[in-house]
Amino acid sequence: MHPCYFINPSSSSNTSKEKYTALFSKHSSRWQLYDENEQDTNTELKILRIYRTCGLSWAKSALEEVMSLTMHSPSLMAVQALECIQLFWFGIGQPHPGNLCLALAYRSCKILGYDRRPADENDSYTSIEAELGRRCFWACWISTCIVMQPEPYIESAWKEAAMLPLPCLVSGSFNQMMDKDWNSLPVRNSSGNLYPPTTPGLLIKIIGIWAKVQLHCKAYANRAHDGLNSLRQLSQLATSLFDEAAEMRTSANQVDQTTENQMMLFLHDSVYHQSQITLHSMIVPLFSGIPADEKIDPETRRRAAQTVIYHADQFKCLLDPYLYNQQDVSRISPLVGYGAFVVGIIFLSTELCCHTQPVSELPFNTSTKDSRLVTVQAILRLLDTIKAYWEALKYPAEVLRSALEATHSALSKPPRLIDSGNRKMPTTSFV
């Protein structure tokens, strides 16, 4: 699932050539995943594979056309095309044009007023056209939060989006918005009714958390942080937003079986668990590679390790249908692919810890440890597949492969303990 799914190409009969070109070129690197011997699967890839060789030339053509249009005659379709085409450039490992497209798309949204806050229900910015503009802004905002560039945009991400209505049903009314501290606020319409959040709205909320998690980790690594307060606040906020999605998650499983909705919820849940893993692993030297902070007591680190393992197991459960060929892996977001890599490293570190520590000293539950190496092997197969169309995942895949080989080698030898005060910790440095 990609942010450009927030854009509805069928909303206008005048969709421009450069937008279609961008949409086609965005998918070009997926076509190499299609196996011509497969029957009744990957139908989309089967139809589009004849265009595989055209992707790069189309992307260059689209870039030239849309840049000119954006400079001289900016429009919703031009911004949509920029948002689509940036995915192609990031996909083939050329972040420079990708960053330029994304930065221009985001700024264009601001200039065109797609982030304008409606005054009331009678405001013209409650129209369908205005909703499409807001969705375009939200798509660019999500991409910016994921790419984490430019950093000043990320630092002010919550403020930039505060009090802007989240995506609503085009035929419906506003439902929710976020305040500057990223708390959900209801939006009442003229009749006083409250509408439930939409799946795109839920996804925006959790992506906002992910952006701040990345900033927190950078500050922690540089020791420019306020202790555990920021970690706990972000973790609690993430949990509250995750819990908000419970009703929508149940409804999607029972009623709404559309691929788009299912993939949005899959990404939402994946990013939540990934955020918790990232936050809590920072204070566990085994997982982060950062020396222990003397201000953090061992019991707090032990609980953090438990939390990391719990969310890694939950992330793995989400991935299961893709790890064992039950779902089309080409639909997985690169952000989820990176999360799978992190989970793989966590599992390998855990296996080595189990091997070198007496069971009574383990700080986390090891009841599922026997299956972790099998899971890592499956994750590596998944990364080997999706790295074909997301160049940025090639390096994590190779790191995980080397770590898996090193773990197999270490597990074949007698346990080796190193003295670390009153504890004995394994010598792992994968993270």
String of DSSP letters for 117-186: PPSSTTSGGGSHHHHHHHHHHHHHHHHHHHHT-SHHHHHTHHHHHTTPPPP--TTS---EEE-TT--EEE
CA dihedral over 352, 356, 362, 366, signed as positive or negative:
positive
Per-residue pLDDT at 255: 56
| pLDDT by 10s per residue, the chain, length 431 | 456 555 554 444 344 555 545 545 554 454 444 444 444 455 666 676 777 777 788 888 888 888 888 888 889 999 999 999 999 899 889 999 999 999 999 999 999 999 998 766 555 556 788 889 999 999 999 999 999 877 788 889 999 999 999 998 755 567 789 999 999 988 766 555 567 788 999 999 999 999 999 998 888 877 655 668 889 999 999 999 999 888 887 775 555 566 788 889 999 999 999 999 999 999 999 898 888 888 888 899 999 999 999 999 999 999 999 998 777 888 889 999 999 999 999 999 988 887 776 543 445 555 555 688 999 999 999 999 999 889 999 999 999 999 999 988 888 777 655 444 344 333 333 33
- pLDDT at position 44 is 63
**How is residue 423 written in tokens?**
């504890």
Amino acid at 382: L
Q: Does 148 fall in a domain?
A: yes
Tell me how far apart the alpha carbons of residues 431 and 344 are, in angstroms, rounded to a whole number: 10
Look at residues 219, 321, 237 and name the one whose alpha carbon lies nearest to residue 275.
237
Could you identify the residue written with the tokens 């222990």?
A: 292
In the numeric block, which tokens belong to residue 149?
Answer: 């560039």
Residue 315 lies inside a defined structural domain of this protein = no
Domain-located, residue 140: yes
In the beta sheet, which residues pair with residue 419?
424
Q: Give the separation between CA 3 and CA 145, rounded to whole angstroms.
A: 11
Spell out the SS3 assignment of 64-116. Answer: HHHHHHHHHCCCHHHHHHHHHHHHHHHHCCCHHHHHHHHHHHHHHHHHCCCCC
Cα separation of 388 and 382, whole Å?
Answer: 10
Q: Tell me what pLDDT residue 53 has.
A: 75
Tally of domains within the chain: 1
**Pairing of β 176-178 and β 423-425:** unpaired
- Neighbour-count burial for 324-340, b at 16+ CB within 10 Å, e otherwise: eeebbbbbbbbbbbbbb
Q: What is the pTM of this model?
A: 0.84
φ, ψ (nearest 5 deg) of residue 117: -85, 125
In this structure, are residues 319 and 269 in contact, taking their beta carbons and an 8 Å threshold? no
Residue 154 included in any domain: yes
Closest CA to 86 of 66, 72, 71, 116: 66
Whether 157 is covered by a domain: the verdict is yes
Task: Output the pLDDT for position 39.
Answer: 43
Report pLDDT for 33: 47
For the residues of 240-260, what is the DSSP string, one character each? HHHHHTHHHHHHHHHT---HH
- What is the dihedral angle through the alpha carbons of 409, 414, 418, 423, rounded to the nearest 10 degrees? 110
Residue 98 belongs to domain spanning: 53-117+125-161
For residue 410, the model assigns a pLDDT of 83
- Does 57 fall in a domain? yes
Domain annotation covers residue 79: yes
DSSP for 307-373 reads: HHHHHHHHHHHHHHHHHTTSS-GGGS-HHHHHHHHHHHHHHHHHHHHHHHS-GGG-SS--TTGGGHH
Sign of the alpha-carbon torsion through 171, 102, 2, 281:
negative
Q: Does residue 428 belong to any structural domain of this protein?
A: no
